[in-house]
Amino acid sequence: MKKGSKKIAVLYHGNCPDGFTGAWAAWKKFGERAEYIGLADRDNPPRLKDKRIYMIDWAFNNRGPVDELRRNNRLLVSLDHHMASKDTPRTLPGSVFDAKRSGAVLAWRYFHPKKPVPAFLKYIEDHDLWRFRFKDTEAVSTIAESSSRDFKTWSGLVRDFEDTARRRRRIADGYKMLLYRDKQIEAILGCAKLVDFKGFRVFAVNSPVFRDRIGHTLARRKPPFAIVWREEGGKWKLSLRALRPFDLLKSVPGAKGHPQAAGMILPIGAPLPWKEVKSKR
């Protein structure tokens, strides 16, 4: 079956372990009967017609694309935990919003309601919501970040985490990866600058990788939040990471996402929206 002829489309948060794991949960339901489309932050959806569409771990920032998809397709369902999606159960019948669950777990429960949530997905959720209720979550997150994003690889990960011995071996490998990652992070942290951003004096640093860990480490050094920025796709992308109880969505104009993990996107020609402060003290 040609990709364009498939009557089911799964749109998911691309470049994100939680989003991809949610797509994997859909794949376990639909297999090759669906097409799977990863979307970057603030992407508009592809133009689709006469399909059943499931949006996983994804929120559009304006109604236009959603309204167009709804008009031109047989079904549009959102499974999400970002605050921008909180009204979708009302506007898109059958949709699910739950800020206390990750996209992956929401998708699993939606597509496999009679099956228990696999252990690997619980680790993905624990990291994505930045809870760290499981002692090995960071090691497992490193495994997810470094693994090939294909559904067969993900099936192997999920299967291994259901077996105690194989899970232990996987986690041991994850801790080895953490040692290398931490050395890279320390080098990046040393490049952070103190900046004045929207009335807050916080740390900012350029990095295309390890945004969660770098952001939260810098936020602890200089509360209440930090900025990790990068150039991607011809745009400036700012990742904001905050310490509880600070709420980025309420306190930082233009921030979108979660209260402690939000983002902003600016055109590449725009100046970065802060001024460097001379001293880090």
Q: Does residue 100 sit in helix, strand or coil? A: coil
Q: Distance between CA atoms of 81 and 98, rounded to whole angstroms?
A: 5
Q: Which residues contact 208 (CB under 8 A, 6 or more apart)?
A: 230, 232
Decide the pairing of beta strands 75-80 and 52-56.
parallel
* CA–CA distance, 4 with 196 (Å, rounded to integer): 48
Q: How is residue 218 written in tokens?
A: 């810098």
Tokens of 249: 């969505």
Contact call for residues 123 and 106 (beta carbons, < 8 A): no
Whether the link from the prior residue into 224 is cis, omega within 30° of 0, is: yes
pTM here is: 0.84
Q: List the helix and strand counts (H, then E) for the chain.
A: 10, 12
**CA 276 to the chain's CA centroid:** 29
Contact call for residues 264 and 238 (beta carbons, < 8 A): yes
Residue 145 near residue 173, CB atoms below 8 Å:
no
**Nearest by Cα to 123 from 114, 131, 115, 112:** 131
Please state, in angstroms and as integers, the Cα–Cα distance from residue 152 to each residue in 88, 133, 159, 170, following that order.
31, 28, 10, 16
DSSP string for 31-77: GGGEEEEEE-TTPPPP---S-EEEEES---SSHHHHHHHHHHSSEEE
Structure confidence at residue 61 (pLDDT): 62
DSSP state of 224: S
- List the pLDDT tens digit at each of the 281 positions of the chain: 555 689 999 999 998 999 999 999 999 999 999 999 999 866 778 889 999 999 999 877 667 778 899 999 999 999 999 888 888 888 899 999 999 999 999 999 999 999 999 999 999 999 999 899 999 999 999 999 999 999 999 999 999 999 999 999 999 999 999 999 999 999 999 999 999 999 999 999 999 999 999 999 999 999 999 999 999 888 999 999 999 999 999 999 999 888 999 999 999 988 999 999 986 54
Backbone φ and ψ of 238, nearest 5°: -110, 120
Q: Which amino acid is at 60?
A: F
